[in-house]
Amino acid sequence: QKEVEQDPGPLSVPEGAIVSLNCTYSNSAFQYFMWYRQYSRKGPELLMYTYSSGNKEDGRFTAQVDKSSKYISLFIRDSQPSDSATYLCAMRYNAGNMLTFGGGTRLMVKP
Amino acid sequence: EAGVAQSPRYKIIEKRQSVAFWCNPISGHATLYWYQQILGQGPKLLIQFQNNGVVDDSQLPKDRFSAERLKGVDSTLKIQPAKLEDSAVYLCASSLDRAWRNTEAFFGQGTRLTVV
């Protein structure tokens, strides 16, 4: 079993839709949770960073963490074609900075 | 602020050949990482440096992979000899300091390696 599981997709939605991306993890030692966006042939870029359970909002993006269920989500409101990319969840333990990534979900937003 | 620089962008080699990748992190960033990203998968950490010292290389295939960061700034990752399964994108990332709880890791664009 992988430490971090993520549905690979692809997920195809119409422009303006609400998108829900999810990851589950097995190790309760993970304390910091991140979402990265990766465009084709580019490196990942950080979108959201959360530490505690609950919601964190940044513009059209909301990150949700449920530590009791070992489940994290990223919601994208009013999705745009420019949101088409692969979304990677990542997490790390309290000490050090090593990131453990999920496999990524490919999102396609159609005009 | 300049980002993480990597070269070359693309490399095609035959199996059993050797190859080297170069990374220049963001100025002032003490921590440097090399990740391997196989097509369709998330990045996997190969090695983490803090200045010029190795913090974690537990997932580095040391029989064929080596990495160094001699002066605590730029870094090279070498594969010798390459295997077909080494075909992947090699990502370099850097962050201010591993001890800081909220430091962000910035990624370069990666080097896409194809072994034929």
Judged by CB atoms closer than 8 Å, whether chains meet at B43 and A98 is answered as no
Preferred mutation among B54, B98, B100, B111 to probe A, highest tally of A CBs within 10 A = B98
CB B1 within 8 A of CB B101: no
* pLDDT above 90: percentage of residues in chain B: 78
Which residue has 């430091």 as its token pair? B103
- The arithmetic mean of pLDDT across residues A10-33, rounded, is 94
Is residue A5 predicted with pLDDT exceeding 90? yes
Q: What digits encode the pLDDT tens for the residues B75-111?
A: 999 999 999 999 999 999 998 875 555 567 889 999 9
Please give the backbone phi and psi of residue A83, each rounded to the nearest 5 degrees, phi first.
Answer: -80, -5
Judged by CB atoms closer than 8 Å, whether chains meet at A97 and B98 is answered as yes
* pLDDT above 70: percentage of residues in chain A: 96
Distance CA(A82)–CA(B72), nearest Å, equals 37
Q: Under 8 Å CB-to-CB from A8, ≥6 apart: which residues?
A: A103, A104, A105, A106, B40
Tell me which residue in A43, A45, A46 faces B110 most closely, judged by beta carbons.
A43
Please enumerate residues of A whose Cβ is less than 8 A from a Cβ of B: 4, 6, 8, 32, 41-46, 49, 51, 88, 90, 94, 96-104
Judged by CB atoms closer than 8 Å, whether chains meet at B104 and A43 is answered as no
- Between chain A and chain B, the number of residue pairs with CB atoms below 8 A apart is 59
Judged by CB atoms closer than 8 Å, whether chains meet at A8 and B40 is answered as yes
B contact residues 4-63, partner A, Cβ 8 Å cutoff: 4, 31, 33, 40-45, 48, 55-56
CB A90 within 8 A of CB A32: no
pLDDT score at B10: 97
Is residue A95 predicted with pLDDT exceeding 60? no
pLDDT score at A49: 87
Average pLDDT value for chain B: 92
Chain A hits for B29, Cβ within 8 Å: none
Tell me which residue in B31, B41, B110 faces A97 most closely, judged by beta carbons.
B31
Distance CA(A59)–CA(B49), nearest Å, equals 34
Is residue A106 predicted with pLDDT exceeding 90? yes
Average pLDDT value for chain A: 92
Q: Under 8 Å CB-to-CB from A29, ≥6 apart: which residues?
A: A93, A94
Q: What digits encode the pLDDT tens for the residues B29-51?
A: 989 999 999 998 999 999 999 88
CA A43 from chain centre, in angstroms, equals 15
